[in-house]
Chain A
Amino acid sequence: MQPADFSYVIDTLFLLFAMTLIIVMVPGFAMLEAGIVRTKNVTAVLTVNTMIYAVASMAFLLIGYQLAFGTWETESVSKWAAFLFQMAFVGKTVNIMSGGVSERTRIIPLMLFTVLMAAVIYPLVVNWTWGANMLKDSFLDISGMHDLAGSTVIHSTGAWALLAAILIIGPRKGRYVDNQVRVIPASNIPLVVLGALLLWIGWFGFNGGSVGSIASKENADTVALTIMNTNTAGLAGAIIAAIIVYFQYKKFDITMILNGALGGLVAITAGADVFDIYTPILVGVIGGALVVFAVPFFDRLRIDDPVGALSVHLVNGIWGTVAVGIFAKDVSLMAQIKGVVVVGIFAFVVSYITLFVINKFIKFRASDDDQTQGIDVSECGVEAYPEFKRAF
């Protein structure tokens, strides 16, 4: 085999492996959300997660990929592997928002938005950053932003859409009564932990694969460093979240600790390949700390986000992207901030308009009665836990 062929084969294998790891995040999101919602809404949340993978990926195959990259042609790896790797990300963008609107959102309008998100909105963001760059030479050109695997391109894009969706859909029934925040506890903590740790594992493909090539000694080092840094930020996020919740409340809230870990992972996603091995500790610590303070902050604004997706993905998507400008050599802080702002304004405004128009025709919000009964019954007709207590 020629050396060129060898690297083609290795890199194709590498991308297919990374893609597989990223798809592990589908059950990751699904289990996390299934555990955090009440039992009467579990089937609905799982249906949404499954359908997002299918609908978003299909929309990306038919329209989005061409829009983002302009062509299917690649030289250094199999073009099918290149597609599959990019396709693995698209569902994640929508998945980031789906958890935050759970327990009150109907499936059909959400799927309509999924189609538009995966076919147009997300591919345009990719076009300007990683893809064909139709903004080249305009004052909006943001290709100077360093965003390895999508702190901004994926995490905050999805989370801006979520913010728009929450503003349109409103909080869950009974969440904010009078001037009080009513706590709605998670129904299944083991599932939350399983989901969060599956996401963590998926992140190794998410960030590691985004290096793009492993078929040289230098690239292999970069991939390994990227995965190591990714993990480090997750560890740091978990530890700092645990410390802060313990000092604040004298309790270890596992859902917050996991959110802290995920916050660290989101924050490191922009720059895992360009940091030394110690900077990710700082990036993760700040990321995890931001989550712990952001969760009650959004509650004070009456923005009901059951899974904490805004705190994890929006706050840390922004922090992670800015962090590269602060800590990495050769990366301009201004270019990072410009990328955050341009993508943020675009993703929020376009998502808001799209969601608003869909909502005019098909209401996103399930009726109060359906929410009381649980949207498993009204939306899916299948209850996740139908037995009387326990079946023997």
Chain B
Amino acid sequence: MKKIEAVIKPFKLEEVKDALAEAGIAGMTVSEVKGYGRQAGHTELYRGAEYVVDFIPKVKVEVVTKDQDVDMVIEKIVNAARTGKIGDGKIFVTDVQRVIRIRTGEEDEEAI
């Protein structure tokens, strides 16, 4: 099992969610995060003084999936989240050792 974490532009969340749901992904977790990469921050203005906003709001989507689905999920996310402009985000894939469904106690692939 793998965990796919995608940090994306917030306004792309709906498209990513729809693409994953269409592909049969049963669940995901999203959180509001802030960060920066090559896009870096931007300057804002407040009461006559400029200041740099280092961390830009992003959404992080986490999906845990079977090993054979990983490439498909990544492709779906990339297609849905890409705008071609800087700051589209990144995808991280990590191994997941165990998954437990709290309600039933099912484990691993049954619990995804």
Interface residues of A (CB under 8 A from B): 181-183, 185-186, 245, 248-249, 251, 253, 255-256, 292, 295-296, 299, 308
Contacts and interface: CB of A to CB of B under 8 A. Distances in A.
Interface in B35-90: 44-51
30 contacts: A181-B49, A182-B51, A183-B47, A183-B49, A183-B50, A183-B51, A185-B44, A185-B46, A185-B51, A186-B46, A245-B48, A248-B48, A249-B45, A249-B48, A249-B50, A251-B45, A253-B45, A253-B46, A253-B47, A253-B48, A255-B46, A255-B47, A256-B47, A256-B48, A295-B47, A295-B48, A296-B47, A296-B48, A299-B49, A308-B47
A308 B49 CA distance: 13
A329 B87 CA distance: 62
B54 to A, nearest CB: 13
A297 B48 CA distance: 10
Given A182-B51, A183-B51, A255-B46, 19 more contacts: A183-B46, A183-B47, A183-B50, A185-B44, A245-B48, A248-B48, A249-B45, A249-B48, A253-B45, A253-B46, A255-B47, A256-B47, A256-B48, A295-B47, A295-B48, A296-B47, A296-B48, A296-B49, A308-B47
User: What band does the interface of chain B fall in when counting residues whose beta carbon is under 8 Å from A?
Assistant: under 10
Contacts of B49: 181, 183, 296, 299
Contacts, number: 34
B48 A292 contact: yes
A229 to B, nearest CB: 28
A249 B51 CA distance: 13
A295 B45 CA distance: 13
